[in-house]
A and B are shown apart, each in its own frame.
Chain A
Amino acid sequence: MSISVDLAIIGAGPAGMAAALEARASGLSVLVLDENASPGGQVWRAAEENAARGKSLDADYAAGAQMAQALRQSEVPCRFGTTVWAIEPEGRVYFSAGGRAESVAAAQVLLCTGATERPLPIPGWTLPGVMTVGAAQILLKTGGLVPEGRVWLAGQGPLLRLYAVQALVAGATIAGILDISPPPSRVLGLTDLPAIANAAEQVAKGVRWGRTIEAAGVAWGRVADISAEAGPDGKLARVKFRDEHGEHAEPADLLLLHDGVVPNTQVSRALGLEHMFDPAQRCWRPVLDPFGRSSEPAILVAGDGAGILGAEAALITGRLAAIAASLDLGKLDPALAHKRAGPLFKRIAVHRKFRAVLDKLYPPQPPVLDDSDLVCRCEEVTAGQVREAAQLGCLGLNQMKSFTRCGMGPCQGRMCATTAAELLAEARGVPVWEIEPYRGRFPTKPLTLGELAALDSA
């Protein structure tokens, strides 16, 4: 069956939901597609289900349940459990649900695919028992799972603290937090005070988190050279690190890693959108105008996928993109559009300023890997092999991939791209933004050959 809409929205997190409601208000026909079972994206994952159980992690999370309810009540058509795997630049979106592939023609497509965690590759990061903080948070939100035993958190960033607090409140014991961030006094200065003052609420939240963690007796220290070691059963048994007192090796049952989040650019790359490198966040993001319009006429981007600004900002950028789509489709009066957008631009500016402070507090760091440590989890390619690629005449990730198989697995480079770029840049002696990232191609999620074949008209 062939369907067509004014606006197809990929992702039902904060940006996607806000965009859907705004677009609907302008009278656009909308279709929202999300691979999870319910709205919320990652930050509000399972918010609906938890609300139904009478559970909520905190006020921020409860806002997600309210947003989800608003989306349901708006009767905007939504397809959950649905994975988008290809988009044509002219606007046809291909997706699969229940093993069946379909497509929708859209006049405009809005990507709200959010962020992914920046991989924090350490020696032993592929051991069972090593996961991301985001993974643990998803388990807490969707399954109510609480970490127990000798649990270690390692890395940096607001999510690390937030999860520690959420887990402690849920009854977890945490052995220690291994912090890789620099001391704030070293990175912040007087010029940062205005931004901090303007985000007093967020700052206060951060301070409260710190106090809760301290009160729970969780050991916290700044460390380097973190690694995970296996026991005889091949699972995580020990975490090792170095601090000012020397080397340590501690028993561990669970090690949760986090080094901030980066925009998920799988789809935007495959679409051929122009991207730029953000030096403060050390990651790539699509080149967008203030409304979120990309270098392709029918494609817009909003939310963390446009640049990391957090959930509250995603609500704003989602609305801005919907306003632009409505304007471009002639369904919104330009004067009205700019009237709505004005205050939104002002609010985004505040978010950007605070984000700049966070970027200074938690600067992404180049990986510390021996030649024998794994970079590509799927194909088990080592750091040494990636570094060697520079000697083989590889200037960027694509040629490196062809010579080493790094990036050829099912994750399509999601877990190795940032690391491989840092290693190749260092080996070549050039800045990391000069390393060409993996060229993406659709399908961006694996689908079966049978599903693909069913679309063949011949």
Chain B
Amino acid sequence: MFTRPTDDLGVTITFEGNAVRARDGDSVAAALLAAGHLVFRETAVSGAPRGPFCMMGACFDCLVEIDSEPARQACMVRVAEGMRVRRQRGAADYASAEAVE
């Protein structure tokens, strides 16, 4: 687990519907880990639970759904007020989003 000795947590996002307080400039991954969340997704291959591994955009294990956009790398996205983060469960489903033509 990780702890963070600071009270400078001015941004609030949600993970699986629950509030998570974060610091401005945090990656989504850092914010979630600091809040004690280790499982970010279930793989599309076997459904196995996964979480961040490399924190530098190379491993693609920290994939989450952000504001309805599937399969975003949590370590590469900065938190924003009100951001809704959910676990990526299996394959990315883009069909429910607005079509771009």
Q: Which B residues from 50 to 77 make CB contacts under 8 A with A?
A: 50-61, 75-76
Q: Which residue of A35, A132, A143, A171 contacts B27 across the interface (Cβ within 8 Å)? A: A143
The minimal Cβ–Cβ distance linking A419 to chain B, given in whole angstroms, is 13
Q: What residues of A have a CB within 8 angstroms of the CB of B56 in the complex? A: 42, 116, 134-135, 138
B91 to chain A, nearest CB (A): 12
Q: Which of B26, B39, B43, B54 contacts A235 (CB 8 A)?
A: B39
- Asked whether A135 and B4 contact (CB < 8 A) given A49-B25, A378-B60, A411-B59, the answer is no
Q: Please, what's the 1-or-0 string for A118-133, where 1 marks a CB less than 8 Å from any CB in chain B? A: 0000000011111110
Whether A249 is near chain B, meaning CB under 8 Å from some CB there, is no
Interface size class on chain A is 35 or more
Chain B interface helix/strand/loop/mixed = loop
Would you call B25 and A139 a contact (CB within 8 A)?
no
Most buried by A among B45, B49, B53: B53
What residues on A are CB-neighbors of B51 within 8 Å?
128-129, 131
> In the complex, which of the residues B26, B45, B58 has the most CB atoms of chain A within 10 Å of its own CB atom?
B58
A143 contacts B23, CB within 8 Å? yes
B83 at the interface (CB under 8 A from A): no
Bound-complex Cα distance A254 to B3 (A): 12
**B26 proximity list for chain A (CB < 8 A):** 142-143
Of A49, A142, A145, A377, the contact of B61 (CB 8 Å cutoff): A377
Chain B contributes a number of interface residues (CB within 8 A of A) equal to 38
Give complex CA distance A411, B57 in Å. 9
Query: Which DSSP category, helix, strand, loop or mixed, fits chain A's interface?
Result: loop
Check A126–B34 contact: CB distance below 8 A.
no
Query: Chain A residue with minimal CB distance to B46?
Result: A380
A to B contact number (C-beta, < 8 Å)? 117
B3 touches A146 (CB 8 A): yes
Contacts of A6 in B (CB 8 A): none
Contacts A143-B34, A147-B2; is A411 near B39 (CB within 8 Å)? no
Q: Give bound CA distance, A144 to B56, whole Å.
A: 16
B53: chain A residues at CB < 8 Å are: 126, 130-132, 135, 377, 415
24 contacts between A and B (CB under 8 A): A126-B53, A129-B51, A130-B53, A131-B52, A131-B53, A132-B53, A134-B54, A134-B55, A136-B55, A138-B75, A139-B2, A139-B30, A139-B33, A139-B55, A142-B26, A142-B30, A143-B4, A143-B27, A144-B23, A145-B2, A234-B49, A377-B61, A411-B58, A415-B54
Question: Which residues of B line the A interface, CB within 8 A?
Answer: 1-6, 23, 25-27, 30-31, 33-34, 38-40, 43, 45-46, 48-61, 75-76, 78, 100
Known: A132-B54, A234-B39. 11 other contacts (CB 8 A): A134-B55, A142-B30, A143-B33, A170-B5, A235-B39, A254-B1, A380-B45, A380-B46, A410-B60, A415-B59, A445-B57
